[in-house]
Chains A and B, each alone.
Chain A
Amino acid sequence: MNHACGQCGKIFATEDSYTKHQCPQHKPQEAPKLSEGDILAAVTAARQNKKPNG
Chain B
Amino acid sequence: MANYKFFRQETQNWIDAPEEVWCWEAHYENGQILKQFGDDGIFHQFSEIDQNQLAIFKMTSNNYPQTYSVLFSDPNMKLIHFYRNSIFNAGTDSEERTRFYCFGYEKKVGSKIQKLIMVITPTNELIVTEDPNIL
Interface stretch of the complex, out of B37-45, B70-78, B108-116: B70-78
Whether A47 and B72, one on each chain, are in contact in the complex, defined by CB atoms closer than 8 angstroms, is yes
Min CB–CB distance A38 → chain B (angstroms) = 12
Question: Are A44 and B55 in touch, CB under 8 angstroms?
Answer: yes
Which A residues touch B72, using CB under 8 A?
43, 47
The range of chain B's interface size is 10 to 19
Note all chain A residues with C-beta closer than 8 A to B27.
36, 40
1/0 contact string of A23-54 vs chain B (CB within 8 Å): 00000000000001001101110110011000
Complex Cα distance A36/B27, Å?
Answer: 10
Given contacts A39-B56, A40-B56, contact A46 B31 (CB under 8 A): no
Pick the contact of A50 from B31, B55, B71, B74 — CB < 8 Å?
B74
Contact A51:B75 (CB < 8 A) given known A40-B27, A40-B31, A44-B29: yes
- Residues of chain B touching chain A, judged by Cβ–Cβ distance below 8 Å, are 27, 29, 31, 55-56, 69, 71-76
Nearest first, the 7 closest Cβ-Cβ pairs linking A and B are A46-B73, A43-B55, A44-B29, A43-B71, A50-B74, A43-B73, A47-B75
Please report A residues at the B interface, Cβ cutoff 8 Å: 36, 39-40, 42-44, 46-47, 50-51
